[in-house]
Chains A and B, each alone.
Chain A
């Protein structure tokens, strides 16, 4: 049963990645092709999932939208890890005031949920995907710093780390050789789950018009556009939401499955 979740997660995530990859060299229709005569086509025929209010092909929009979602997620996770992991490792290694400062700094970061920081940054810089990435990225720096710190602290208490210290290894060497490899599992799980959360946050921001800007396709923007026409053509509102939900579900299942694989002690309670 447990493996079923992991396998489903792998399949959904693989499908998402495949959609995004294929979109680089093939989509059923050019994604920016506006054909007013073909607007609001129902699913079926040449346009498998129909067309939107500009006559654009929904499948093509979904494929390129997947690419954009993955790009935002990857950059956000990269930013979060690039800053959060070293900070978390340092706080665990130093303890004392460094640790206290990290706790206060993450408190500050978590006081601004990603959506709220995005609002704040948009007020300053205007809407745009870079600002959305910045907002979600800053939040993830806090997430990764705190997760890394917690996991690293547990490793620091282990005997092999004490042994390495007793043998005269410095804190930096111990962190790189012993602590980092032992927190990679936790970080992989967190990256998967944060990736899912980033896709959700980006979709929310693009839905509000604060994320990816048109004409670049995004799943959130597709839902925003659909809201006006959804009573006329419900599939416009159902399909992009389903894409978001399946992508997020896949990543969450993958994260849960990986956690069970990497830390079997947690298996019973989750």
Chain B
């Protein structure tokens, strides 16, 4: 177990390092002069020189990379060019939107999909199963931002129950929560579709195992078999997908949906930084998003190993 843990940890660190090289190369080496890319060719020479100094562009690239890495490792982020504030501060504010949004979407999708997936497997081949599969097929085909638009049309435009966009801040918890409902539902619809399918598939696979047949043969009731044997064993693939889906929500889903609902989260921060060419914010925020994705993947691997010991012995994936 320790060897497995160490191997996964080293692999994650290596990937993290490689990702940082990619981000650094794309934003600080490929543009030639990042300051020129940020300010445009019309910029005044003294403004350019000032920004070059602030970004440390007079230093050679490897030195700048090492300095950036050191800063990131110690939690020191750059200073945004457009906001004139440390990226760490900006991110801290934005996390208060993105993290609750991603978690709400995740909880909602699990709450809907887990029962649906189990129901579909228990009624395999029946009308319930068919209904869940249709829901799942629709859910993965509909773009999240379009779901968001349709929800706005209905719940904001027609019914006037929920806000169509914007975020009032957590000072007013009720209004803040209301502002996140439609974006979370838009994200959760897609997630629940994938999740229901995986749960159904995992439960069906487990139902075919010999020990389930044995438990039934012992005279254990259908419900007891499902709860005591099947669900526990079907959990491993479900947990894996849960982790992957969180990564997706965190580093892709919220990027789009925050821009549909004008929510001041990480996605909106990154989007605005790109349109304003604030490369310092882009660099640090992308790195943070990727870092969290990799850490969540590591956590999922470890959790998976704890639930299901087989991958430790095998060659792994």
Q: How far is the CB of A97 from chain B (nearest CB, A)?
A: 13
User: Please, how many angstroms separate the alpha-carbon atoms of A238 and B143 in the complex?
Assistant: 12
User: Please, how many angstroms separate the alpha-carbon atoms of A223 and B256 in the complex?
Assistant: 13
With A123-B277, A124-B26, A269-B205 in contact, do A245 and B141 touch (Cβ < 8 Å)? yes
Q: Which of B190-226 contact A (CB under 8 A)?
A: 201, 204-205
Q: How far is the CB of B139 from chain A (nearest CB, A)?
A: 10
With A204-B145, A237-B153, A241-B143 in contact, do A108 and B19 touch (Cβ < 8 Å)? yes
Nearest chain-A residue to B157 (Cβ)?
Answer: A231
Flag the segment in B52-60, B94-102, B282-290 that touches A. B282-290
Q: Which residues on B sit within 8 Å (CB–CB) of A120?
A: 23, 26-27, 282, 286
Flag the segment in A75-83, A167-175, A247-255 that touches B. A247-255
Judge if B137 is at the interface, Cβ distance under 8 Å.
yes
Other-chain residue from B141, B150, B252 in contact with A116 (beta carbon distance below 8 A): B252
Other-chain residue from B153, B201, B293 in contact with A234 (beta carbon distance below 8 A): B153
Whether A104 contacts B14 by the Cβ 8 Å rule is yes
Q: Which of A163-206 contact B (CB under 8 A)?
A: 196, 200, 203-204
Interface residue total, chain A, C-beta cutoff 8 A: 44
Q: Which residues on B sit within 8 Å (CB–CB) of A227?
A: 149, 260
Q: How far is the CB of B131 from chain A (nearest CB, A)?
A: 13
Whether A123 contacts B282 by the Cβ 8 Å rule is yes
Whether B138 contacts A119 by the Cβ 8 Å rule is no
Whether B157 contacts A204 by the Cβ 8 Å rule is no
Whether A223 contacts B248 by the Cβ 8 Å rule is no
Other-chain residue from B27, B146, B255 in contact with A115 (beta carbon distance below 8 A): B255
Nearest chain-A residue to B205 (Cβ)?
Answer: A269
Whether A116 contacts B11 by the Cβ 8 Å rule is no
Whether A208 contacts B256 by the Cβ 8 Å rule is yes
Whether A249 contacts B274 by the Cβ 8 Å rule is no
Whether B256 contacts A115 by the Cβ 8 Å rule is yes
Judge if B83 is at the interface, Cβ distance under 8 Å.
no
Whether A270 contacts B252 by the Cβ 8 Å rule is no
Q: Which residues on A sit within 8 Å (CB–CB) of B149?
A: 223, 226-227, 230, 237, 241
Judge if A27 is at the interface, Cβ distance under 8 Å.
no
User: Please, how many angstroms separate the alpha-carbon atoms of A234 and B158 in the complex?
Assistant: 11
User: Please, how many angstroms separate the alpha-carbon atoms of A227 and B145 in the complex?
Assistant: 10
With A111-B15, A116-B252 in contact, do A231 and B153 touch (Cβ < 8 Å)? yes
Q: Which residues on B sit within 8 Å (CB–CB) of A113?
A: 247-248, 251-252, 293
Q: How far is the CB of B313 from chain A (nearest CB, A)?
A: 17
Q: Which residues on A sit within 8 Å (CB–CB) of B150?
A: 237-238, 241
Nearest chain-B residue to A5 (Cβ)?
Answer: B137
Q: Which residues on B sit within 8 Å (CB–CB) of A90?
A: none
Nearest chain-B residue to A246 (Cβ)?
Answer: B141
- Of the candidates B37, B140, B294, the one having the most CB atoms from chain A within 10 angstroms of its own CB is B140
Q: How far is the CB of A231 from chain B (nearest CB, A)?
A: 5
Whether B256 contacts A114 by the Cβ 8 Å rule is no
- Binary contact readout A207-218 vs B (1 if CB under 8 angstroms, 0 otherwise): 110100000000
* Residues on B facing A (Cβ under 8 Å): 11, 14-15, 18-19, 22-23, 26-27, 30-31, 37, 130, 137-138, 140-146, 149-150, 152-153, 157, 201, 204-205, 247-248, 251-252, 255-256, 259-260, 270-271, 273-274, 277, 279, 282, 286, 289-290, 293-294, 297, 316-317
Q: List 9 A-B contacts (CB under 8 A).
A: A111-B293, A113-B251, A204-B144, A210-B274, A223-B145, A230-B152, A246-B141, A248-B142, A249-B137
* Residues on A facing B (Cβ under 8 Å): 1, 5, 103-104, 107-108, 111-116, 119-124, 196, 200, 203-204, 207-208, 210, 223, 226-227, 230-231, 234, 237-238, 241, 244-246, 248-249, 252-253, 268-270
